[in-house]
Amino acid sequence: MLTFVTKQILVGGALRFLRSLSAGGVVLGTIFFAASLTPTLIPRSFLLQGALSGGCFAVGYAIGVGWRWLWRYMQLPHPRGRMERWLKIGVLGLCLILAVAFLRNTAAWQNSIRTLMDMEPVSSAHPIEISAIAILTFVALVLLARLFMIVVQLISKGADRVVPPRVSRVIGFSLGVILFWSIANGLLVRYTLHVLDSSFAAFDALFEPDQDRPTSPLQTGSTASLMAWEELGRTGRRFVSTGPSAQDIAGFTGQPALQPIRVYASLHAGDNAAERAKLAFEELKRVGGFERSVLVVITPTGTGWVDPAGIDTVEYLHRGDIASVALQYSYLSSPLSLLVEPDYGMEAAQALFAQVYGYWTTLPRDRRPKLYLHGLSLGALNSERSTDIFEILGNPIQGAVWSGPPFASRIWQQVTAARNAGSPAWLPEFRDGSIFRFMNQNGSTVPAETPWGPMRIVYLQYASDAITFFDYRDLYRRPDWMNAPRGPDVSPHLQWFPIVTMLQLAVDMAVANGTPMGFGHVFAPEHYLKAWLAVTDPPGWSPQDIEKLSHYLAERSR
């Protein structure tokens, strides 16, 4: 009996909810839902697709409801009674046909991306699961919106006693926004970020069983080091203890090699960025980093991670005659750090560069190492911001390799916007190519024999990387990188839709690290090899040697 009553209540509630929906809102919501099923840059699971589609339906529905309110506010004619009911039935039927038609194509659209990324095609996109998740997401968001309106009405009724009705509505809406924002930002977001920060910090403190304390006094974390092994953190310990040894490099090249120098300072190294940078600098001097031929200042990702594919490659190219130094500034992942601590990474990068560059400029030019910058993702953004390039032109560094620059990277934005006419936004050419060059899986479009200037900067980026190509302006305008010709890893079925495409790309950013190596935001060592070759121009490598190293690094990383 209880089960029957419960079912009746649920069915009755569902029917009342359906009757309460706006026909115009459902139409626009369905259009947004259908558009969200089309491919963008990254393949999506049915769980992610369902949540995205439900959110897009809710956004479209809200716009439709707003349009209906404006229509009625202007006192324009609208259907009533039986005509309104029949109109709703017809509209729901058309919306159902549209949704089913797009759901049938979802698997083919997802496979159009997966094929380009050498991924196994899917036989089904699980349309039933997508629809169920989308409905649950939409209902949850609508109920949340209705709760907001109830709160606004309650506040407005209380204000009606002392102010005119229209003023009370403004007060109710304003206070409702403040209340909901305070709850969302103050309780949910901050608490979630606190939990995440604590979790990442605890994870960073874990010791891996195969990582022993270094015995060489030239390694950070050894007994001779200025920093204790325990205080380096998980990412720091991995950075200084892994990578190619002198024996590995000599075994591959058949020539004598040095042990690459790696210095890392974690968040435990000091109370602020300046203290940690100073300690990293002193450690770099202690181990002889300025006595090597090449010195790389690395800005890690948000978690403090340094991509092995990026640093191992250049260590092989220079046969170990290289030093690198990195400074941790956060425990959170790059997207979270970008949202929560946008200036903290810049502060750390500037502090470390100031220490290294300030000392480097005092050394004789013919006896100091070649100085380069490097960073991936948020590290590329903050490495860009570590110095003003125009301020060091009188005594310039030798260059930089920045991979996967986030869309907020200022120099990247300016150079891309000022690209040569006819060059695509996903692989621009900038003026004569003497300072800035862009590379992807196929290298650069600038001929290798084109002369460089005193400073060489390469952006390594894939056309399928949403972290690089997301833009808030995608809300209302088609981005240039969608124009033909498109990148080699971008689906030909990708289309731009107002609002929806921006939401799709925002979701793509969250899963950009889930692609195979060489696509999205996961960079392959053979592509790093091309970038470092162009920037550092190491001597003694024939084309055959480079090809052999490329295959070796690719196999080693997989």
Phi/psi at 19 (5° precision): -65, -25
pLDDT of residue 59: 96
Token duo for residue 370: 């070649």
**Mean pLDDT calculated for residue range 211-231:** 87
Question: Which pLDDT band, with edges at 50, 70 and 90, does 166 fall under?
Answer: confident
Among residues 244, 408, 398, the alpha carbon closest in space to that of 334 is found at: 408
More confident call, 545 vs 213: 545
Q: Sheet containing 399-403: which strands, arranged edge to edge? A: 261-265, 322-327, 294-299, 370-376, 399-403, 456-460, 436-439
Give the angle 188-193-196 at the CA atoms, nearest 5°.
125
- How far is Cα 107 from Cα 5, in angstroms, rounded to an integer? 40
d(CA 23, CA 164): 32
Element (H, E) at 382: helix 378-384
pLDDT of residue 8: 63
Q: Which long-range contacts (CB under 8 A, 24 or more apart) does 389-396 make?
A: 389/455, 392/357, 393/455, 395/361, 396/454, 396/455
Q: pLDDT, tens digit, for every residue of 403-454?
A: 999 999 999 999 999 999 999 999 999 999 999 999 999 999 999 899 999 9
- Tokens read off for 109: 């659209």
- Tokens 């990387």 — which residue? 465
Q: What are phi and psi of 453, to 5 degrees?
A: -90, -165
Per-residue model confidence (pLDDT) at position 125 = 92
**Residue 201: pLDDT over 60:** no
175 or 486, higher pLDDT = 486
Quick check: helix, strand or coil at residue 12?
Answer: helix
Q: What is the pLDDT of the chain when averaged over all its residues?
A: 88
Token pair for residue 509? Answer: 């950013």
412 close to 433: Cβ distance less than 8 angstroms? no
Percentage with pLDDT > 90 across the chain: 66
Size of the chain, expressed as the number of residues it contains: 558
Percentage, residues of the chain above pLDDT 70: 87
Which pLDDT does position 483 carry in this prediction? 95
Question: Tens of pLDDT along 364-379?
Answer: 999 999 999 999 999 9
- The answer, yes or no, to whether residue 212 has pLDDT greater than 80, is no
The pLDDT of residue 171: 81
Instruction: Find, among 74, 11, 60, 4, the residue nearest to 32 by Cα.
Output: 60
Tell me the per-residue pLDDT of 323-375, one tens digit each, with 9 for 90 and over: 999 999 886 766 666 655 666 789 999 999 999 999 999 999 999 999 999 99
CA 163 – CA 311 distance, rounded (Å)? 66
**Reported pTM:** 0.89
Cα–Cα distance between 446 and 475 in angstroms, integer? 32
Strand ranges (DSSP E) for 201-332?
261-265, 294-299, 322-327
List the structure tokens of 105.
Answer: 């194509």
